[in-house]
A = this chain, B = another copy of it.
Amino acid sequence: MSALDVSLVAGIPSFRGIEAADLKQLLTDARSRRYEKGEAIFNQGGDAHSFFLLLDGYVRVSRLTAEGDQIIVRYICSGELFGIAQALGLNKYPANAVAAVDCIVLSWSDNYWNVITKKHPTFATNTYQTVGARLQESQERLVELSTERVEQRVANAVLNLAQQTGRKTDEGILIDFPISRKDISEMTGTTLHTVSRLLSSWEQHGILTSERKRITVLEGHQLAIIAAGDRSK
């Protein structure tokens, strides 16, 4: 494998404050690998042997219940760390990670975690802030799930996806990876049927357009109104 260029990770929040020479060493110690769309990166319950940095693509992180229900915890965007069980004091991965599109992923062995956090306190601080942000986000979703109706939650989910991963096209904001009705239902705690009905209804009202696994938001403002709880369709 050819050497990785420092510019790849220079702009990434977790590595802010680390000098170029050290970054280079970090990259030398990393393993780089391509995952095809649909390929598993790690599995819930599996030994947490590595932690990961997504260089390019999107990764879907999900949990499976004892009953076989799946819920999507979050999507990882490029530049984000994931699978950092070490930071949380876990020795098994608490979730599944699957490439949502073709991905480029860096990984380091789990024992490298201590090396890097010891050598680069800023990395530790940055990373724990990431964990903190995810805790906030998770609690935010708890509140949503507890207090909002399905329609609002789905509107919110679509809105967030558009904001986080959206790519501007001449029509509107396109969600940048294939996402099915089922995926959205697993993000919002409902059924794909209900999601389908909602999307159809919104499409009729010109709020968005959708094809199979593709959604383009046209009227983000309208969606935001629905997400906020306005009941006039």
Q: Is A71 positioned at the interface, with any CB of B under 8 Å from its CB?
A: yes
CA distance A69 to B145 in the complex (A): 12
Q: How many residues of A contact B (CB 8 A)?
A: 34
Say whether B135 contacts A89, CB under 8 Å.
no
Q: How many copies does the complex hold?
A: 2
Of B63, B87, B95, B133, which is within 8 A of A88 by CB? Answer: B133
Q: Is A2 positioned at the interface, with any CB of B under 8 Å from its CB?
A: no
Tell me the chain A residues, 86-117 only, with Cβ under 8 Å from chain B. Answer: 87-90, 94-95
Q: Is A134 positioned at the interface, with any CB of B under 8 Å from its CB?
A: yes
Contact partners of A21 in chain B: CB under 8 A: none
Q: Is A141 positioned at the interface, with any CB of B under 8 Å from its CB?
A: yes
Of B94, B129, B143, B229, which is within 8 A of A136 by CB? Answer: B94
Q: Is A25 positioned at the interface, with any CB of B under 8 Å from its CB?
A: no
Most buried by B among A63, A90, A124, A139: A139
Of B69, B131, B145, B146, which is within 8 A of A132 by CB? Answer: B131
Say whether B147 contacts A145, CB under 8 Å.
no
Contact partners of A71 in chain B: CB under 8 A: 142-143, 146-147
Give chain A's interface secondary structure class.
Answer: helix
Q: Is A65 positioned at the interface, with any CB of B under 8 Å from its CB?
A: yes
Say whether B69 contacts A147, CB under 8 Å.
yes
CB-defined A-B contacts under 8 Å, sample of 28 = A63-B143, A65-B147, A67-B229, A69-B143, A69-B146, A71-B142, A71-B146, A87-B128, A88-B131, A89-B125, A90-B132, A94-B136, A94-B139, A95-B139, A128-B128, A131-B131, A131-B135, A134-B135, A135-B135, A135-B138, A138-B138, A141-B142, A142-B142, A145-B145, A145-B146, A145-B189, A146-B188, A147-B189
* Other 4 A-B pairs with CB < 8 A, given A89-B125, A124-B124, A135-B138: A67-B229, A88-B131, A89-B129, A145-B189
